Structure 1
Amino acid sequence: MKMTVDFEECLKDSPRFRAALEEVEGDVAELELKLDKLVKLCIAMIDTGKAFCVANKQFMNGIRDLAQYSSNDTVVETSLTKFSDSLQEMINFHTILFDQTQRSIKAQLQNFVKEDLRKFKDAKKQFEKVSEEKENALVKNAQVQRNKQHEVEEATNILTATRKCFRHIALDYVLQINVLQSKRRSEILKSMLSFMYAHLAFFHQGYDLFSELGPYMKDLGAQLDRLVVDAAKEKREMEQKHSTIQQKVLEGRTKGD
């Protein structure tokens, strides 16, 4: 585990230690903002996705209504029903994807923010408090009159106890910082990896679904090609019939005239 703040410098309470603290605290504050933003974007994405599923389901119902309306045409009814069933499966896959996204991004990162970053903040508050107490003890010890032995001993004892407490809390704070800095990498990557695997599963499911549907679509496409040819032939025949009848009508009018 890479330590971002040195324990030895912590015990010295050196300027280097304070500078490292300032840098880390600023970095963690920015990290929290980035994670909060990502979680909010994730929530918005999930809500939009759910709205898409609702609209898509309504569209599927429209396809089914059209299929029922076309009950006298077996090809149309069968095709529309089969397609609507497949698209309904895709909606189900989307729903699963959104649920997994909520667990992998929203829940996991929110937990990291609420638990790990909260521990960091609590440790920071304790450190700031004991730092202030140490500074007060130093000031009091410096201001005490040296000819008053009792006050000197009291100030010295307070300073010694405060320094001891400071070292203890400072070490805990540094440990919390270093653990957080190490854990943030695994938590972020674990969350994103889970998110990407959810998409991998989603596209695999879609691929498998349409692989099964593919042969039927291919056969239907061949039928449509034949239907287009037949329709063109039928159109020519109707146009020819129309022309013949129209010609007869014109000839009849001419004779009548």
Structure 2
Amino acid sequence: MGLPTLEFSDSLLDSPEFRERLQCHEIELERTNRFIKDLIKDGNMLISALRSLSLAVQRFSQSLREFQFECIGDAETDDEVNIGERKQLEMIQNADDVLISPLERFRKEQIAAVKEEKKQFDKETEKYYSVLEKHLSLSSKKKESQLLEADSQMSKDRQVFYDASLQYVFKIQEVQERKKFEFVEPLLAFLQGLFTFYHEGYELASEFEPYKQQLQFNLQNARNNFESTRAEVERLMKRIRSAEEDFKAPSCFTMEGYLYIQEKRPLGSVWTRYYCTYEKSSKMFTMGNTETRPASRQNGLVIGSPEMFRLRSCVRRKTESIDKRFCFDIEVVERHGVITLQALSEANRRLWMEAMDGKEPSVLFFSSCFTAFLNEAGFNFVKKCIELVETRGITTLGLYRTGGVNSKVQRLMTSVFGKMKDFFYFSEATTTITSGLKNYFRCLAEPLLTYRLHKEFIKAAKYDDHKYRVRAIHALVHKIPEKNRVMLDLLTYHLFKYVHNVTCYVLIVLSSGFSEHPFFINAENMSILPTALSPFFGDRLQTSDS
């Protein structure tokens, strides 16, 4: 069973489920740390044993030389023994350099960096929730200037906490991905040296060669996937970081997050923090009490038994009617009277009010970026790009891996799709044309294989049987709209010609597919899981094509 996905949007929500998933990753990294320590210990024992073996061979060789038994070919035998001793000493020294040192470096640099990020995250978590409770306890009767100053300071503290949370999740994702190749590469190098040393194991080393070659391709693919996924994840992190305060993360609930609920007591009332969810279609409102542990373990939460209610109405609480800010009242079927809730901010209250059909207006934010469409202009642009690429550099290695100058690519896109249609800029370099082609597919309003069929394509790509996988993907391709299929035929036929015109066939299949498949398929909701599944779909698609 794999690790649960860590989403940047969940880190802003800071739900108990997010903390549980975060703990799973922390446990896995600690297990990796212990495993590397044991491997280094066993590796040192192996190197020590090899040194003992080398000394024993030298003593045996010395005994043979002192025996002085005349025979034909003894000089050659002595030479071979000396060569063997030198090779063995080189292998022992090489084992320490290629196996022990890289593993120790990975453990000290990468895993230690995650632990430092965790300390910073725990520190900011403790500080944030402490400041938040003080902020929410401010009286609404204070001067407006004091409240505005408090809001401004709270916003800064919240941003510091969000940054620490995002950075911690990002570092965990990075180390989990680095582990896939920085942990395997030293083992591969050590095994290569070990097999090279044993002369009588030459046939075994020959049998190892195909596996080593495949592993090298897999390592290259893993490294390429890491670079691509890391770039996508970093862009996603920046998007989440720059999102407005009323950003709502993708979720199975209409709204979810922390709310403070007023609880009546014999001597007044207290405000208790609950993690609440609301489903608009069923009007089900759920709240679970969360008991915060001591300050030294602030990131640990104990979740009480959740209570479920059916919402009847939701009304914003007037400021002058209560001594707290950001409040609203709800009525539920199962209880008499109203339940007073306090949101974390004005924007957060707007989102809850919107979800519960309250009186607050809905505010949505859209990004104003360029959107491409499968229209006549788009088809003409793609055909022109393909024609120029096939005329100029169809045999160029790494054609779609080398990016063009960003300003020139933007100028090309503006000249073609702007108000002043102009094909003059097609005289640009081939890398500008290929980058423009990739940029067009990246900016499509919907990927070629459509959002609707995304899950079905991923499911089909997971089938282990090659023939069944090919038939399943083939059937799904015929379900996409006609324009999408025509464009897909144009692009795949171009890539087919490109692959078969390059000398390094095996390597270019991996490279070309890796460069293009994110534009074929993507999920509608941008998150880490679709980003991680996208390279997997490309790999299975390449296997199907081959």
User: Is the TM-score greater than 0.5?
Assistant: yes
Partner of 2:315: none
Residues 138-162 of structure 1: CA deviation (Å, up to 9, x unaligned): 2222444444447755654443221
- How far apart are residue 89 of structure 1 and its match? 2.1
CA displacement at 1:112 relative to structure 2: 0.6
Task: Tell me whether 1:197 sits opposite 2:192 in the alignment.
Answer: yes
Listed as ranges, the gaps of 5+ residues in structure 1 are: 209-257
| Residues 35-65 of structure 1: per-residue CA shift (max 9 Å, x gap) | 0110111112112211221232122111111
Matched, 1:173 2:168: yes
* 1:55 to 2:56 alignment: yes
* Offset from partner CA, 1:159-199 (integer Å, 9 cap, x none): 32211101111111111111111000101111111112112
Structure 2's unaligned 5+ residue stretches are 204-546
Pick the structure with greater CA Rg: 1
**Of residues 181, 184, 188 in structure 2, which corresponds to 1:186?**
181
Other structure's SS at 2:59 match? helix
Of 106, 109, 124, which aligns to 2:103?
109
* Greater shift in the superposed pair: 164-173 or 2-11: 2-11
Q: Is it true that 1:121 corresponds to 2:115 in the alignment? A: yes
Which residue in 2 is equivalent to 1:162? 157
**C-alpha distance after superposition, 1:78-106 (max 9, x if no partner):** 55554343223222222122222212210
Q: Is the 8 A contact 2:99 2:186 kept in 1?
A: yes
**Bigger RCO (CA 8 Å, 6+ sep):** 1
1:200, CA displacement in angstroms?
2.5
SS at structure 2 position matched to 1:109: helix
* More helix, by proportion: 1
Q: Does 1:65 align with 2:66?
A: yes
Q: What is the 5 A alignment of 1:1-257?
A: 4-67=5-68, 70=69, 74-75=70-71, 80-149=74-143, 155-204=150-199
- In the TM superposition, what whole-angstrom CA distance separates every residue of 1:206-237 from its partner, at most 9, and x where no partner exists? 759xxxxxxxxxxxxxxxxxxxxxxxxxxxxx
The answer on whether the counterparts of 2:4 and 2:24 sit within 8 Å (CA) in structure 1 is: no
CA distance in 2, matches of 1:147, 1:26: 47
Is the contact between residue 116 and residue 180 of structure 1 (CA under 8 Å) also seen in structure 2?
yes
Which stretch of the first structure deviates more once superposed, 136-145 or 94-103? 136-145
Distance 1:19 1:151 in 2: 38
Deviation at 1:201, TM superposition (A): 1.5
User: Is the contact between residue 137 and residue 158 of structure 1 (CA under 8 Å) also seen in structure 2?
Assistant: no
CA-atom RMSD in angstroms: 2.5
Structure with the larger strand share: 2
Q: Percent identity between the aligned chains?
A: 23
Q: Whole-Å Cα distance in 1 between the matches of residues 192 and 38 of structure 2?
A: 22
CA change 1:167–1:79 in 2 (3 A) is same
AA aligned to 2:43 is C
